[in-house]
């Protein structure tokens, strides 16, 4: 005989799960007891949202779903932003929520909301488990659905009577590897012909190219074909090695220096682009032709309507495409000139001494203290554009940002997950003073778990990005400033170590010292956002000359 919750936890072990994040409620107590007897660690968080961000980041970084747990109603609803984060960001995740018993209703409708219905639009699949015997099959299916392209979250609701149900043993379903079909020869031939005919091809690496398994195949494609490339915000770092073909990152949709390369191209090979990202460039009737290379077909949008597609497992498909075009391309020399201009532009003002420091200087200083494999996890705010534009990455998934749901509050939890997965690598969370405070309670979790982690807070006492947009749109400066706690004392109250940067030159040594030490460090630094308007509006609107 076995119990539903034991079977559920055994099914998680069968999938290789080693941790589960969340806040249990009384409806999960059978599961908690089954976890106690298992190899899986229960990691309590101080808010379910953070648990979901952590589980999603596990999926993002490993390709294997992270798992989070909550109670019914209020706890389950607290997972919903994390569900949307994983859904838009294509991160595999399993959410397990409790529910009152379904065969009896001893508490009438107390705490009951239709969680399945609320999760349906935020997940790939949302199911209630109605019998213990179905658990092995449902859990296996949930992991399959979460992992398969396009990956994303799956929600399972386990009512407490099903969790406590005693049944005869049911065998688990063993997982097995699944290979995806490779793009058909006709599609590869057509794409190869278009690329060979083009005069000025350019590769764009999108969010999908950051899948952990694509690190090698993408780098090999660029190495073999020597086609210059740029990336979207979430495609950053997917080509390893300090490639001299990198043209920049599209943090804006148009008008940035990198768009000079886009405008110069007559063909864009768009690898793994996912239109959940803010458009990296806007397709129009007169622009370059576009070939979409992806695990799945391109969604057709007003701003993205590829002329040809190579659909299939991206790694092997790219190898077959490279076989067809390697050695046949002449790379337009204009790209080389553009490249030095674009990379030169993004170094502007990175050396400035003024205090508070400019975003460019902060990005440069962070790059200085982060080794190539160090991981920077951003929350959402104005600085995200600066990091996306200016922070050079050399290793895949070393700048984790969310350009899909673009939610505030994920910076700290995603960094905590990265630090747990890669304890030997430096991990830095970069947060605005707004976004940090949306999940700052997880400082306690980070300290309790004994993580080594540095959190950098950029203080402008405002929702700076919205304040910037307000100014760009010509509205008066109103309503978007707030006060902050004393962040040093705040960190200390959690048992973390707090630092305040008072001179621009102190930023590098403060970060370096924090990384050399162990434990959770919080560093607060004011930021001078005058550069937002000076560069991202005035300079780009006025000074970008036309291509000759
Ligand atoms: C959960 C959530 N609420 C609101 C927004 C809208 N929003 C985007 S950026 C931003 C301001 C961020 O402020 P802060 O974290 O201080 O960063 P800053 O822009 O000041 O550097 C807001 C309110 C959002 N993206 N996510
Ligand atoms: Mg701010």
Mean pLDDT along residues 413-419:
98
Residue 407 CA, closest ligand 1 atom number:
26
Please indicate whether residue 404, judged by its CB atom, sits closer than 6 Å to ligand 1. no
CA atoms of 417 and 430, how far apart (whole Å)? 14
CA atoms of 385 and 437, how far apart (whole Å)? 20
Q: Give yes or no for a contact between 407 and 465, defined as CB atoms under 8 angstroms apart.
A: no
548 pLDDT more than 60: no
Q: Supply the pLDDT for residue 284.
A: 87
299 pLDDT more than 80: yes
Please indicate whether residue 466, judged by its CB atom, sits closer than 6 Å to ligand 1. yes
CA atoms of 471 and 384, how far apart (whole Å)? 18
Choosing from 50, 381, 429 the residue with most ligand 1 atoms within 8 A of its CB, the one to mutate for a pocket test is: 381
Q: Supply the pLDDT for residue 544.
A: 44
Contacts of 155 (CB under 8 A, 6+ apart): 83, 94, 95, 97, 115, 116, 119, 122, 123, 125, 126, 127
- Rounded-to-5 percentages of helix, strand, coil across the chain: 40, 20, 40
Mean pLDDT along residues 286-310:
95
CA atoms of 378 and 409, how far apart (whole Å)? 9
212 pLDDT more than 90: no
pTM above 0.75, yes or no: yes
Q: Supply the pLDDT for residue 199.
A: 95
Q: What is the Å distance from ligand 1's center to 357 Cα?
A: 20
Q: Give yes or no for a contact between 234 and 403, defined as CB atoms under 8 angstroms apart.
A: yes
Please indicate whether residue 378, judged by its CB atom, sits closer than 6 Å to ligand 1. no
CA atoms of 231 and 317, how far apart (whole Å)? 19
Q: What is the Å distance from ligand 2's center to 325 Cα?
A: 48
Q: What is the Å distance from ligand 1's center to 383 Cα?
A: 10
Residue 393's pLDDT band, with cuts at 50, 70 and 90, is very high
478 pLDDT more than 90: yes
Choosing from 401, 435, 536 the residue with most ligand 1 atoms within 8 A of its CB, the one to mutate for a pocket test is: 435
Residue 380 CA, closest ligand 1 atom number:
9
Contacts of 61 (CB under 8 A, 6+ apart): 212, 397, 400, 417, 418, 421
240 pLDDT more than 80: no
156 pLDDT more than 50: yes
Mean pLDDT along residues 49-76:
98
CA atoms of 221 and 209, how far apart (whole Å)? 12
User: The tokens 């940035």 sit on which residue?
Assistant: 256
Contacts of 73 (CB under 8 A, 6+ apart): 111, 112, 113, 115
Q: Supply the pLDDT for residue 306.
A: 97
> Which listed ligand is nearest to 464 at the C-alpha?
1
Residue 517's pLDDT band, with cuts at 50, 70 and 90, is very high
Phi, psi of 142 (to 5 degrees): -60, -45
Q: Which two tokens stand for residue 285?
A: 């009737």
CA atoms of 427 and 417, how far apart (whole Å)? 10
CA atoms of 111 and 232, how far apart (whole Å)? 42
Listed range (17-26, 207-216, 311-320, 483-492) with the worst mean pLDDT: 207-216
Q: What is the Å distance from ligand 2's center to 73 Cα?
A: 32
Q: Supply the pLDDT for residue 547.
A: 38
Residue 379 CA, closest ligand 1 atom number:
15
Q: Supply the pLDDT for residue 242.
A: 54
Please indicate whether residue 411, judged by its CB atom, sits closer than 6 Å to ligand 1. no
Q: Supply the pLDDT for residue 545.
A: 44
Residue 542's pLDDT band, with cuts at 50, 70 and 90, is low
Q: Supply the pLDDT for residue 546.
A: 40
Q: Supply the pLDDT for residue 237.
A: 79
Mean pLDDT along residues 160-177:
96
> Which listed ligand is nearest to 432 at the C-alpha?
1
426 pLDDT more than 90: yes
Contacts of 417 (CB under 8 A, 6+ apart): 53, 54, 55, 57, 58, 61, 66
CA atoms of 93 and 416, how far apart (whole Å)? 16
540 pLDDT more than 80: no
The most confident of the ranges 60-69, 210-219, 466-475, 529-538 is 60-69
What's the Rg (C-alpha) of the chain? Answer: 24
How many angstroms separate the Cα of 175 from the Cα of each of 8, 147, 201, 441? 15, 12, 41, 37
Q: What is the Å distance from ligand 1's center to 379 Cα?
A: 9
Q: Where are the alpha helices (DSSP H) in 282-358?
A: 314-325, 334-345
Mean pLDDT along residues 254-282:
94
CA atoms of 377 and 384, how far apart (whole Å)? 10
Mean pLDDT along residues 194-215:
95
Mean pLDDT along residues 115-134:
98
Q: What is the Å distance from ligand 1's center to 341 Cα?
A: 31
Closest residue by Cα to residue 70 from 28, 19, 35, 100: 28
CA atoms of 189 and 350, how far apart (whole Å)? 45
CA atoms of 309 and 128, how far apart (whole Å)? 37
The most confident of the ranges 104-108, 254-258, 432-436 is 432-436
Listed range (93-97, 179-183, 319-323, 328-332) with the worst mean pLDDT: 328-332
Kindly report the protein residue whose alpha carbon is nearest to atom 25 of ligand 1.
Answer: 407
Residue 529 CA, closest ligand 1 atom number:
21
Kindly report the protein residue whose alpha carbon is nearest to atom 11 of ligand 1.
Answer: 463
Residue 538's pLDDT band, with cuts at 50, 70 and 90, is confident
Please indicate whether residue 464, judged by its CB atom, sits closer than 6 Å to ligand 1. yes
Please indicate whether residue 382, judged by its CB atom, sits closer than 6 Å to ligand 1. yes
Residue 81 CA, closest ligand 1 atom number:
1
Tally Cβ neighbours within 10 Å of residue 44: 14
Kindly report the protein residue whose alpha carbon is nearest to atom 16 of ligand 1.
Answer: 434
Partner residues linked to 271 by β-bridges: 205, 293
Q: What is the largest CA-CA distance in the chain?
A: 78
Please indicate whether residue 380, judged by its CB atom, sits closer than 6 Å to ligand 1. yes
Choosing from 465, 477, 532 the residue with most ligand 1 atoms within 8 A of its CB, the one to mutate for a pocket test is: 465
Helix (H, G, I), strand (E, B) or coil at 347: coil
Mean pLDDT of the chain: 94
Contacts of 108 (CB under 8 A, 6+ apart): none
Mean pLDDT along residues 421-441:
98
Q: What is the Å distance from ligand 2's center to 378 Cα?
A: 13
Q: Supply the pLDDT for residue 241.
A: 56
Q: Supply the pLDDT for residue 501.
A: 98
């Amino acid at each position: 005989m076995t119990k539903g919750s034991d079977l559920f936890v055994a099914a998680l072990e069968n999938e290789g799960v080693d941790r589960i994040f969340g806040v249990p409620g009384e409806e999960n107590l059978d599961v908690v007891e089954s976890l106690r007897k298992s190899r899986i660690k229960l990691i309590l968080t101080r808010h379910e949202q953070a648990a979901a961000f952590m589980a999603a980041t596990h999926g993002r970084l490993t390709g294997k779903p992270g798992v989070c747990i909550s109670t019914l109603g209020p706890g389950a609803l607290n997972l919903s932003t994390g569900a949307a984060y994983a859904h838009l960001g294509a991160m595999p995740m399993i959410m397990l929520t409790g529910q009152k018993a379904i065969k009896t209703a001893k508490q009438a409708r107390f705490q009951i909301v239709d969680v399945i219905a609320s999760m349906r639009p935020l997940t790939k699949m949302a199911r209630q488990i109605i019998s213990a015997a179905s658990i092995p099959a449902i859990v296996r299916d949930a992991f399959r659905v979460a992992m398969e392209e396009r990956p994303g979250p799956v929600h399972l609701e386990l009512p407490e009577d099903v969790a406590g149900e005693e049944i005869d043993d049911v065998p688990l379903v063993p997982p097995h590897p699944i290979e995806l079909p490779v793009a058909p020869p006709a599609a590869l031939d057509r794409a190869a012909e278009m690329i060979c005919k083009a005069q000025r091809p350019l590769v764009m690496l999108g969010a999908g190219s950051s899948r952990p398994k694509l690190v090698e195949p993408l780098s090999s494609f660029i190495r073999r074909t020597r086609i210059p490339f740029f990336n979207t915000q979430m495609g950053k770092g997917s080509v390893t090695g300090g490639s001299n073909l990198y043209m920049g990152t599209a943090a804006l949709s148009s008008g940035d220096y990198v768009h000079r390369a886009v405008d110069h191209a007559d063909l864009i090979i768009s690898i793994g682009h996912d239109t959940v990202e803010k458009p990296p460039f806007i397709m129009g009737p007169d622009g370059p032709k576009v070939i979409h290379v992806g695990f799945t077909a391109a969604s057709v949008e007003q701003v993205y309507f590829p002329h040809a597609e190579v659909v299939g497992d991206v790694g092997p498909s790219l190898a077959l495409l490279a076989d067809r075009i390697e050695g046949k391309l002449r790379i337009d020399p204009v790209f080389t000139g553009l490249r030095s201009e674009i990379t030169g532009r993004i170094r502007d003002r990175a050396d400035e001494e003024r205090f508070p420091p400019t975003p460019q200087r902060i990005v440069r200083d962070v790059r200085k203290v982060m080794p190539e494999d160090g991981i920077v996890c951003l929350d959402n705010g104005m600085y995200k554009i600066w990091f996306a534009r200016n922070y050079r990455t050399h290793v895949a998934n070393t700048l984790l940002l969310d350009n899909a749901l673009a939610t505030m509050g994920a910076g700290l939890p995603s960094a905590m997950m990265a630090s747990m997965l890669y304890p030997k690598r430096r991990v830095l969370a970069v947060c605005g003073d707004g976004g940090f405070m949306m999940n700052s309670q997880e400082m306690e979790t980070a300290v309790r778990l004994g993580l080594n982690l540095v959190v950098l807070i950029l203080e402008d006492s405002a929702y700076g990005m919205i304040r910037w947009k307000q100014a760009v749109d010509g509205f008066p400066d109103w309503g978007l400033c707030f006060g902050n706690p004393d962040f040093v004392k705040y960190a200390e109250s959690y048992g973390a170590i707090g630092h305040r940067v008072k001179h621009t030159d102190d930023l590098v040594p403060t970060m370096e010292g924090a990384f050399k030490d162990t434990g959770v460090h919080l560093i607060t630094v004011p930021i001078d956002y005058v550069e937002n308007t000076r560069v991202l509006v005035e300079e780009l609107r006025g000074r970008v000359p036309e291509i000759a």
